[in-house]
């Protein structure tokens, strides 16, 4: 069965067009009735549209399409909530409370806008294609720095291995796994490569996939079988370009954990971080920080910079240092805008 997430029902549309606010009054009284009636039940937000959210009841008994008229803050995917089910048993309900978040993933866009992407996530799966589009080290490095700063475990998931040559796969694996010690998996949904490894790695985790559009997040979601149980689907998954682009986040339970598929992000900036925090989030720079001539050294043009010396000596990879510089520039730019 497919439930529309964004699509307003015909009745809602008709009510919105009607000259009286009868529909509005009807919903108000429904909200009052729901607030006062029945026990509250724990649930998790699995998808959210503009005015309503899908919540999966924690006892596994199903999904409810919920209003949230009395909440000061919008619920986000991954939120643990308390809901009241509609007594009409038509699969509708109301979120009456969002339980305290253990953590929220706040993304700052290149324009400096803050977006809460998800709540209660403990594993950030950084998805990047090895080819088509080419691997963007800068993007991966900013996501890794974000994970370090937020103290969320990262996992680098490199997709489309079937389209990449062995040398470029080897270069990425050498850098991230061997040199920097990050968890990494090389994947191809076409060749079913690495999927079991990924499944084992995320088992029991509350994982969120982060990556640019078209890198293969939804394909992984599907390969993991996450879309099988997920009855929440978007209405217009298929865009005019004939490509399937995810337009809202959705969560699926996988055993004891969950996985969240997200819409592709165009940019990912570290605008919330001070320059010193950005340097500290590049883990291999740690031995050199505090050893420059100037205590507030940004490791750019300054003389006697221990970081630049380490890059020149080959102790720090040039591609990572380039990512660091770009992250600094980009963060400064989005603060100005």
Ligand X SMILES: Nc1nc2c(ncn2[C@@H]2O[C@H](COP(=O)(O)OP(=O)(O)OP(=O)(O)O)[C@@H](O)[C@H]2O)c(=O)[nH]1
Footprint of Zn ion on this chain (CB under 5 A)?
A: 292, 297, 299, 305, 307
- Considering only residues 240 through 269, tell me which ones interact with Mg ion, judged by CB under 5 A: 246
**What three-state secondary structure class fits 26?**
helix
Give, as ranges, the residues between 182 and 221 that touch Mg ion (CB under 5 A).
Answer: 217-218
- CB contact set of 307 (below 8 Å; sequence gap of 6+): 279, 285, 288, 289, 292, 297, 299, 316, 321
Within 227-246, which residues bind ligand X (CB under 6 A)? 244-246
Q: Please identify, using beta-carbon distances, which residue of 204 and 287 lies nearer to Zn ion.
A: 287
Q: Could you tell me the two tokens for 280?
A: 């500290």
Q: What is the largest CA-CA distance in the chain?
A: 74
Shortest Cβ distance from residue 41 to ligand X (Å)?
A: 31
Contact call for residue 168 and ligand X (CB under 6 A): no
**Residue nearest ligand X, Cβ-based:** 264
Q: In the complex with Mg ion, which residue's Cβ is closer, 218 or 248? A: 218
Q: Which is nearer to Mg ion, 48 or 217 (CB)?
A: 217
Q: What's phi and psi for 277, nearest 5 deg? A: -70, -35
Q: How far is the CB of 281 from Zn ion (least distance, A)?
A: 15
What is the pattern of x (binds ligand X, CB under 6 A) and - over residues 173-212?
---------------xxx--------------------x-
In the complex, what is the shortest distance from the CB of residue 181 to ligand X, in angstroms, rounded to a whole number?
25
213 sits near ligand X (criterion: CB under 6 A): yes
Say how far apart CA 45 and CA 64 lie, in whole Å.
Answer: 10
Does residue 155 contact residue 125 with C-beta atoms inside 8 Å? yes
With CA atoms as reference, report the closest residue to 331 among 126, 146, 55.
Answer: 146
Give residues 83-112 in contact with ligand X (rule: CB under 6 A): none
184/305 with CB nearer ligand X: 184
Between 192 and 283, whose beta carbon lies closer to ligand X? 192
| Least spacing, CB of residue 190 vs ligand X, in Å | 4
Alpha helices in 18-101 (DSSP H): 22-36
- C-alpha 34/C-alpha 188 separation (Å) is 47
297 binds, among ligand X, Zn ion, Mg ion, none (CB under 5 to 8 A by kind): Zn ion
Q: How far is the CB of 204 from ligand X (least distance, A)?
A: 23
Which CB atom, from 151 or from 241, has the smaller least distance to ligand X? Answer: 241
Taking the complex as a whole, how short is the minimal distance between the CB of residue 68 and ligand X, in angstroms? 26
> Could you give the angle at the alpha carbon of 297 between the alpha carbons of 294 and 300, nearest 5°?
130
* Least distance to Zn ion, CB of residue 334, Å: 23
Instruction: Name the region of 230 (left: φ>0; alpha: ψ -120 to 50; beta: rest).
Output: beta
Asked if 30 and 261 touch (Cβ cutoff 8 Å), the reply is no
Locus of tokens 């729901």: 34
Count of residues interacting with Mg ion (CB under 5 A): 3
In the complex, least distance from residue 215 CB atom to Mg ion, rounded to whole angstroms: 9
C-alpha distances (whole Å) from 333 to each of 195, 319, 327 are 38, 21, 10
- Residue 162 binds ligand X (CB under 6 A): yes
Q: Is the Cβ–Cβ distance between 163 and 176 less than 8 Å?
A: no
Residue in this structure with the two tokens 């370090």, named with its chain if needed? 148
Q: Which residues bind ligand X (CB under 6 A)?
A: 159-160, 162-163, 188-190, 211, 213-219, 244-246, 263-264
Q: Which residues bind Mg ion (CB under 5 A)?
A: 217-218, 246
């Amino acid at each position: 069965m497919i439930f529309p997430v964004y699509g307003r029902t015909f009745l809602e549309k008709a009510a919105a067009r009607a000259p009286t606010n009868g529909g509005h009054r009807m919903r108000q009284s429904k909200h009052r009735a729901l607030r006062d009636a029945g026990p509250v039940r724990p649930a998790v937000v699995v998808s959210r549209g503009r005015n309503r959210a899908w919540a999966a009841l924690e006892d596994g008994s199903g999904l409810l399409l919920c209003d949230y008229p009395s909440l000061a803050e919008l619920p986000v995917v991954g939120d643990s909530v308390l809901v009241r089910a509609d007594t009409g048993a038509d699969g509708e309900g109301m979120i009456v409370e969002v339980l305290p978040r253990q953590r929220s993933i706040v993304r700052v866009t290149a324009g400096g806008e803050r977006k809460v992407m998800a709540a209660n996530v403990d594993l950030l799966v950084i998805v990047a294609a090895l080819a088509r589009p080419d691997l963007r080290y800068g993007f991966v490095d900013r996501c890794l720095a974000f994970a370090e700063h937020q103290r969320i475990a990262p996992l680098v998931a490199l997709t489309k291995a079937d389209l990449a040559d062995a040398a470029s796969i080897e270069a990425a694996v050498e850098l991230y796994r061997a040199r920097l010690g990050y968890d990494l998996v090389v994947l191809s949904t076409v060749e079913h490569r690495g999927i079991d490894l990924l499944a084992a790695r995320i088992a029991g985790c509350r994982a969120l996939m982060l990556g640019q559009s078209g890198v293969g997040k939804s394909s992984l979601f599907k390969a993991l079988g996450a879309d099988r149980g997920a009855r929440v689907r978007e209405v217009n998954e298929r865009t005019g370009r004939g490509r399937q682009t995810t337009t809202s986040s959705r969560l699926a339970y996988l055993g004891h954990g969950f996985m969240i598929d997200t819409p592709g992000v165009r940019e990912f900036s570290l605008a919330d971080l001070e320059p010193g925090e950005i340097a500290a989030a590049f883990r291999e720079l740690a031995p050199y920080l505090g050893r420059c001539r100037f205590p507030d050294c940004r490791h750019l043009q300054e003389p006697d910079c221990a970081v630049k010396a380490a890059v020149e000596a080959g102790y720090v990879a040039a591609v990572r240092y380039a990512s660091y510089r770009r992250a600094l520039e980009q963060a400064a730019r989005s603060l100005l805008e």
